[in-house]
Structure 1
Amino acid sequence: MQTEATQDILIVAGMSGAGRTTAAKTLDDMGWYVVDNLPLRLLTTVADMAERTDGALSQIAAVIDARGRDITRSVRETIAELSGKARVRLLFLEATDEVLVRRYDSVRRPHPLMGEGSLIDGIRAERERVHELRQISDYIIDTTSFNVHQLTTHIRDLFDTATAPKLHLVVQSFGFKYGTPADADLMVDMRFLPNPFWDPQLRDLTGVDAAVSDFVLSREGAREFLDGYCEALKPVFAGYQRENKHHAMLAVGCTGGKHRSVASANFLAVKLAELEGVQVSLRHRDLGRE
């Protein structure tokens, strides 16, 4: 008979410059035992040693350098070795090329894979190497629009087991003109509603303002769609919980991420927070960009 896993192991990987150090510091502050740049072949040894501490080291976070050519195979083998002994999850951090370039420039560091090429060459080479690892990750966080404090809060929301709900749901508004969120699990397109932009009295306001919110939610089909969508998500969230998926992002889009998506995201966040076992966080990615 398989014994119940007594350890929680989180492998932290992702693009260089995407926030692994911040994630590690946050987890350490939360009481996790954090090991940085640990060769994966030693993770099983660390887990075995931690098991002898009678629960004192029940949460281990291993921050790995994911640039090795066989990294995905190594991760798969490590997870297989720990199966039954520990609950193993994989966190992958990423950001856009442009943001990673800015972060490298700000600290004046060369990219370890750039060789004789440019910084962007190194970033793209690394992205190609970690592509398969990203595909098998349990959590993918796009830190493009995060500062250090926002990433810290997000990590705490995800991995604070003392207060963790069955499902942590991020409802995020965005503008299609700025690109779709790479880490969205579900996406809603609110461009079927009339755009408040064309009303001179509403153009300079946002979906946070009551006048815009009332305008959006009073359009024909708006409430019917949003109420129906919330109802349709109930079996989806129940399925997530059965599959031990503890984090999901619902992205709500319109053209510029200023009016319709913001008002709709606010509405959905309130409605979905009423569901049992679901904790909702609300973000407006592109609010203020135009």
Structure 2
Amino acid sequence: MTTDPSLQRILLVTGLSGAGKSTALQVLEDLGWETIDNFPVRLLGSMLGGDSDHPAPLAIGFDSRTRGFVPAETIELCEQLAKRSDVELTTMFIDCSAAELERRYNETRRPHPMARERPVAAGIKAERELLGPLRQWADIVLDTSDYTSGDLQQVVRERFGRSGGREMTITVSSFGFARGMPPLADLMFDMRFLDNPHWVPDLRDQTGLDRAVGEHIEGDPAFAPAFARISETLLELLPRYAAQDRSYLNIAFGCTGGRHRSVYSAEAAAEVLREAGFSPTVIHRNLGSRPADPLERG
């Protein structure tokens, strides 16, 4: 992002309906951007050229529902604006797989804007074809097929919320490999080498937050030496990441189901970091998932 505060930063946010545009705009607003959704892009030029020496960054959302929306005309207008010496223009396209979009629409029972009386899948296909030129032209393409809402929020914060002098935000998370890889991990530790509490009947319905599960994990002779090396690695690397002006760092611990070994390890790692003076946030992605034998293969 620009370091010249006199330039008007403009971020055009578009993409497939249901992919996450509204979420991205909400995060940008929280980060101090002025945001407008479904704004006729043809009127954008009239909004520029204010008297402020330090204009607030502006994020504008538009998609197939925006009045007068024609992709080719939008691209032509944006190319003209990008030539201005007082503007820094970026375009972000938020994409998502058809299967995931269809699932989201079916879960929320919202009508797709281009489906009308047709199936949701037909509306998604028609919109993808309409927006194809914008996706190809965009500076940034985010595919949210495997993102939760929280994942998308983190990505937007990392890309557009950085500012010098801020303390690095550290997130320590747990997850289950059987339920999908986390899309945002900078450092990932696989804890599946440890004995799995899921196969202990008294521990199956408990989690890594429970004392008995923690004692079982610590009783594995492989845990102490491995976790000591992990702790040493984290304490060595985090100051180096901070020195590189990183605003966000995501540390993930994984096990098979995401309920026992990864949860305990993430909590233990967060405590190590707190003792070293850091302030990590802890997230357990799959803590509320049901224990399921077919998933637990390691």
Task: Tell me the TM-score normalized by structure 1.
Answer: 0.67
Residue 258 in structure 1 maps to residue 259 in structure 2: yes
**Contact map agreement 1:171 1:269 (CA 8 A) in 2:** yes
Q: Deviations over 1:67-116 (max 9, x none)?
A: 98789x88996996578865x7776656665553243233432364x799
Name the CA distance, whole Å, in 2 between partners of 1:250 and 1:214. 23
Q: Give the match for residue 61 of structure 1.
A: 59
Q: Give the match for residue 171 of structure 2.
A: 170
| Aligned equivalent of 2:232, options 224, 228, 233 | 228
Give 1:270 deviation, angstroms: 3.5
**Contact map agreement 2:90 2:139 (CA 8 A) in 1:** no
**Contact map agreement 1:37 1:65 (CA 8 A) in 2:** yes
Q: Deviations over 1:215-234 (max 9, x none)?
A: 33453233223213313532
Name the CA distance, whole Å, in 2 between partners of 1:182 and 1:98. 18
C-alpha spacing 1:175/1:234, structure 2 compared with 1 (3 Å): same
1:253 is matched by which residue type in structure 2?
G
Q: Give the match for residue 105 of structure 2.
A: 104
**Contact map agreement 2:144 2:152 (CA 8 A) in 1:** no
Q: Give the match for residue 247 of structure 1.
A: 248
Q: Determine helix, strand or coil for the equivalent of 2:259.
A: coil
2:63 is matched by which residue type in structure 1?
D
Name the CA distance, whole Å, in 2 between partners of 1:80 and 1:218. 61
Q: Deviations over 1:124-183 (max 9, x none)?
A: 78399487689845x87678544xxx6898699767789993433333211111111234
Whose radius of gyration is greater, 1 or 2?
A: 2
Q: Give the match for residue 187 of structure 1.
A: 188
Name the CA distance, whole Å, in 1 between partners of 2:214 and 2:98. 35
Name the CA distance, whole Å, in 1 between partners of 2:276 and 2:62. 36
Give 1:190 deviation, angstroms: 1.2
**Contact map agreement 2:155 2:184 (CA 8 A) in 1:** no
| Aligned equivalent of 1:238, options 239, 242, 253 | 242
Q: Determine helix, strand or coil for the equivalent of 1:35.
A: strand
Name the CA distance, whole Å, in 2 between partners of 1:151 and 1:117. 31
C-alpha spacing 1:68/1:237, structure 2 compared with 1 (3 Å): farther
Unaligned runs of 5+ in 1: none
Q: Give the match for residue 293 of structure 2.
A: none
Give 1:184 deviation, angstroms: 3.3
Name the CA distance, whole Å, in 2 between partners of 1:155 and 1:212. 33
C-alpha spacing 1:252/1:23, structure 2 compared with 1 (3 Å): same
Residue 34 in structure 1 maps to residue 35 in structure 2: yes
Name the CA distance, whole Å, in 2 between partners of 1:166 and 1:74. 40
1:59 is matched by which residue type in structure 2?
P
Q: Deviations over 1:4-49 (max 9, x none)?
A: 3345554444542133224434544665311224577876764x43
Q: Determine helix, strand or coil for the equivalent of 1:177.
A: helix
C-alpha spacing 1:160/1:246, structure 2 compared with 1 (3 Å): closer
**Contact map agreement 2:100 2:145 (CA 8 A) in 1:** no
**Contact map agreement 2:93 2:135 (CA 8 A) in 1:** no
Name the CA distance, whole Å, in 2 between partners of 1:74 and 1:267. 53
Q: Does 23-32 or 74-83 show the bigger shift?
A: 74-83
Q: Give the match for residue 204 of structure 1.
A: 205
**Contact map agreement 2:192 2:255 (CA 8 A) in 1:** yes
Unaligned runs of 5+ in 2: 291-298
1:109 is matched by which residue type in structure 2?
P
C-alpha spacing 1:123/1:209, structure 2 compared with 1 (3 Å): farther
**Contact map agreement 2:96 2:143 (CA 8 A) in 1:** no
Q: Determine helix, strand or coil for the equivalent of 1:49.
A: coil
Q: Give the match for residue 281 of structure 1.
A: 281
**Contact map agreement 2:169 2:248 (CA 8 A) in 1:** yes
What is the Cα-based RMSD across aligned positions, in Å?
A: 4.8
Name the CA distance, whole Å, in 2 between partners of 1:273 and 1:40. 47
**Mapping of 1:59-208 within 5 angstroms?**
59-65=57-63, 81=83, 97-105=98-106, 106-110=108-112, 112=114, 119-120=120-121, 123=124, 126=128, 129=132, 136=140, 144-146=147-149, 165-208=166-209
1:227 is matched by which residue type in structure 2?
S
Name the CA distance, whole Å, in 2 between partners of 1:92 and 1:269. 35
Q: Determine helix, strand or coil for the equivalent of 1:34.
A: strand
1:24 is matched by which residue type in structure 2?
L
2:231 is matched by which residue type in structure 1?
D
